[in-house]
């Protein structure tokens, strides 16, 4: 479980963009929704231990993350993956990008290759793996970033607008892959999204943010009808 306790965050001075947020992420799929600028991305980055809150605690599997030594932080951070809305890929081939996390975790070349092919097949991007990462389209990059995240089997997967640039058929495919991960039951998935259908199909809980505060929490079907257009 990742638990945020009374989190405050500001980028500049005391202009707080996350205001006293307490929430916990434990199993299943949770969708974070709310207006542009309400703090979804910021909250995801705090929960992923990328940003340190100004006030409050981030508890990862029972441990106060920001009180850990640098060495211990690495251990906990490896359980968590955050996928940026506009992913930045490494230079080089797509296959190297997808396998990067496994390589730094000490997997052999053969193991990495096998796993890269498996996840690339699942996401239907096998035809891309020999391409240069910087030659991909925006949506292709998003799929590669997702593959790079999923290959690690993280305990916590934070996805920022994962379907934003994807074609309808590809969306469906990504949703199927994410549902499979969800149903395996080992990964807590938190998705920031403007897409009520994604929340309705995948999430067991929706959290609505507004100006840095949680204003509503509940089952998707109970709170999303008014957002369906």
Q: How far is the CB of 38 from ligand ATP (least distance, A)?
A: 4
**From candidates 37, 66, 105, 109, binder to ligand ATP by CB under 6 A:** 37
Residue 133 · residue 89 · CB < 8 Å: yes
Q: Is 48 in the site for ligand ATP (CB under 6 A)?
A: no
Question: Which among ligand ATP, Mg ion, none contacts residue 36 (Cβ within 5 to 8 A by kind)?
Answer: ligand ATP
Task: State yes or no: residue 11 binds ligand ATP (CB under 6 A).
Answer: yes
Spell out the residues 6+ positions from residue 186 whose beta carbon is closer than 8 angstroms to its own.
153, 155
CA nearest neighbour of 225 among 190, 196, 201, 203: 196
Q: Does 12 bind ligand ATP (CB under 6 A)?
A: yes
Determine the distance from the C-alpha atom of residue 9 to the mean position of all C-alpha atoms in its chain, rounded to a whole number: 19
- Fill in the per-residue mask, 149 to 188: x = in contact with ligand ATP (CB under 6 A), - = not in contact: ----------------------------------------
Q: Is 48 in the site for Mg ion (CB under 5 A)?
A: no
Phi, psi of 92 (to 5 degrees): 105, -165
Residue 41 found at the interface with Mg ion (CB under 5 A): yes
Q: How far apart, in whole angstroms, are the C-alpha atoms of residue 182 and residue 51?
A: 26
E strand segments, the chain:
2-10, 16-25, 29-33, 55-60, 63-64, 80-83, 156-160, 188-192, 205-210, 213-218
Q: Which does 39 bind (CB under 5 to 8 A by kind): Mg ion, ligand ATP, none?
A: ligand ATP
Q: Residue 212 and residue 177: Cα distance in Å, rounded? A: 31
Q: Which of 23, 38, 76, 193 binds ligand ATP (CB under 6 A)?
A: 38
As a whole number of angstroms, the distance between CA 212 and CA 9 comes to 9
Q: Which of 61, 31, 73 is nearest to 155 (CA)?
A: 61
CB 214, min distance to Mg ion, A: 16
Q: Applying CB under 6 A, does 41 fall inside the site for ligand ATP? A: yes
> Which CB sits closer to ligand ATP, 179 or 211?
211
| Contacts with Mg ion, residue ranges (CB under 5 A) | 40-41
| Contacts with ligand ATP, residue ranges (CB under 6 A) | 11-12, 17, 34, 36-42
């Amino acid at each position: 479980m990742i638990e945020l306790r009374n989190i405050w965050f500001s980028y500049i001075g005391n202009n707080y963009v996350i205001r006293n947020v307490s929430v916990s992420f434990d199993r299943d799929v949770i969708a974070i929704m709310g207006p542009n600028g309400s703090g979804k991305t910021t909250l995801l980055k705090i929960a992923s231990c990328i940003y340190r809150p100004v006030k409050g605690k981030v508890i990862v599997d029972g441990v106060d993350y920001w009180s850990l030594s640098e060495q211990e932080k690495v251990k906990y951070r490896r359980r968590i993956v955050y996928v940026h809305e506009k992913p930045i890929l490494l230079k080089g081939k797509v296959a190297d990008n997808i396998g990067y996390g496994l390589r730094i975790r000490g997997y052999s070349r053969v193991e990495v290759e096998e796993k890269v092919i498996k996840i690339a097949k699942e996401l239907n991007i096998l035809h891309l793996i020999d391409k240069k990462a910087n030659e991909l389209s925006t949506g292709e990059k998003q799929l590669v970033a997702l593959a790079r995240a999923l290959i690690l089997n993280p305990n916590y997967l934070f996805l920022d607008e994962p379907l934003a640039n994807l074609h309808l058929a590809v969306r469906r495919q990504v949703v199927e892959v994410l549902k499979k991960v969800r149903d395996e039951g080992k990964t807590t998935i938190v998705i920031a999204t403007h897409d009520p259908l994604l929340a309705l199909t995948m999430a067991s809980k929706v959290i609505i943010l507004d100006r840095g505060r949680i204003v509503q929490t509940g089952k998707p079907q109970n709170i999303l009808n008014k957002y369906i257009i």
